[in-house]
Amino acid sequence: MTEPSYLSLHRSGELIKRAEMLNELLYSCNICPKDCNVNRVENKIAACYSGYLPIVSSYCVHHGEEPVLSGCSEEENDNGIGNIFFGNCNLRCVYCQNYEISQNHKSEIKNEVSIERLAEIMLELQSKNVNAIGLVSPTHFVPQIVSALVIAAENGLRLPLVYNTNSYDSVEVLKLLDGIIDIYLPDLKYSDNEYGYKYSKVKDYATHAKNAILEMYRQIGSKLVLENGILQRGLVIRHLILPNDFAGSRETLKFISELDKNISISLMSQFYPVHKALEIELLSRNIREREYEKVFDLMEEFGLENGFMQEFESESYYRPNFRDRTEPFKR
C-alpha cells in the first residue's frame, strides 16, 4: 500500500509545524474566504457557527462514494471509506442534503469533541479496514483536523485522507495542506457568483472555488494513483446537476477542460428538493432526464472522458438520515 504523504511530514517534524501554523489562523479566523476575524481559540463563534472544538456529527463506514473510494464488490475491494461528517458549514445551501447537521448549530454543539477524540475516531475507522479516511465538510475545522492527525499518525494511522469539500476554501490554507492531503474531492457547485449567493449565501463563491481547485490541481495534478482499484492519490472534481441549470454546468465543465482535459469528474444526479428548496419553485423538483443527458453531452463536447456518473435514478439512494448518527445511510 502506498504510504500517505503526511507520514513523511510527520517523521520530519513538518506536520506539527503545519498544525501550529494553521492554529495561528484561528486567533483571527480566516480559515475560509469569509474571513470572520474572530478569535476561535477563545471559542468566539464565527459565521460557520463554530468555535474552537471540532464538531463530529457522525462517523461511519460509507459505501456510497465513487467506486475508487468506496470500492465495489466486483473488484472485491468494497471495504468502504471511513467518513467523518463535520457539523456546521461555511455555506448555507438551501438544498443541502445534510442540512440536519450543516444548518442546525444549536443542536450540533452537543457533538463537539476534543482533538484527542477526533484522532481516536480516525484510528477507530482505520480498524474497520476501510480504504481511506474521508473528511466531509472539513473546511472550517482544518486546524483541528491537522492537530488530530499529528496524534493519529503517532499512534499508527496509515490511510490516505480524502478532503471532501464544498470548495469554498482559502488558498492560503490549502497551501498548508500540501503534502498532507493525498485525495482532493471538491464539489464545484456554481459557475456564477450570483447563484452562489442566491442559493448558498456566500459572495464570490465561483471565484474562490475556482482558485481553490487551481491550488488542488497544482498540488496533485490530474493523474489518479490506484492500487487494486482504490485511489491512493488524486483529484476528482464533483459537480451536482441542479434543476434549471442553476449550477451553470457548461461554464463549469469548460473551466475544467481548459485546466486539464484529463481531470476526473464525478457528475452527480442525486439532487432532490429538501430543506428550503421545497419553498423555491425552480428548485422544488428532481432533475429531469433531459437535464442529466445534456450535462453528459457537455462532457463529450469538452473532451472530458475521465470520471464517474451516477445513474439518473440515484437520488433515492443518497438520502442520509442523520437522526441515526451511527448509520445515516442505512436503508
Q: What count of residues does the chain have?
A: 331
Closest CA relative to residue 5, chosen from 198, 179, 143, 222:
179
pLDDT score for 72: 83
- Contact status, residue 234 vs residue 188, Cβ threshold 8 Å: no
Q: How do the domains of the chain map onto residue ranges?
A: 6-316
How does DSSP classify residue 311? -
Q: What is the pLDDT of residue 311?
A: 81
pLDDT at 173: 99
30, with CB counted inside 10 A (0-12, 13-18, 19+), is middle
d(CA 178, CA 157): 18
State the pLDDT confidence band at 290, using cuts at 50, 70 and 90: very high
Q: Is-contact 85 57, C-beta < 8 A? A: yes
At 225, phi and psi to the nearest 5? -95, 115
Prediction pTM value: 0.95
C-alpha 115/C-alpha 151 separation (Å) is 9
Strand partners, 235: 184
- Please write the tens of the pLDDT for every residue from 89-111: 999 999 999 999 999 999 899 99
Name the DSSP letter for residue 26: G
More confident residue, 125 or 275: 125
- pLDDT exceeds cutoff 70 at 316: no
Contact 253, 291 (CB under 8 A): no
Q: What is the pLDDT of residue 314?
A: 59
Under DSSP, is residue 226 helix (H, G, I), strand (E, B) or coil? Answer: strand
Which cell numbers in the block locate residue 27?
486567533
Q: How many CA atoms lie within 13 A of 232 on its CB side?
A: 12
**Burial (CB count <10 Å: 0-12, 13-18, 19+), residue 9:** buried
Helix (H) or strand (E) holding 299: helix 289-301
Residue 275 φ/ψ, nearest 5 degrees:
60, -130
Q: Using an 8 Å Cβ cutoff, are 49 and 86 in contact?
A: no
Superfamily (CATH) of domain 6-316:
Aldolase class I (3.20.20.70)
Mean pLDDT of the chain: 94
* pLDDT per position as a tens digit, 217-253: 999 999 999 999 999 999 999 999 999 999 999 999 9
32 Cβ neighbours under 8 A, 6+ residues apart? 48, 90, 139, 140, 168, 169, 170, 173
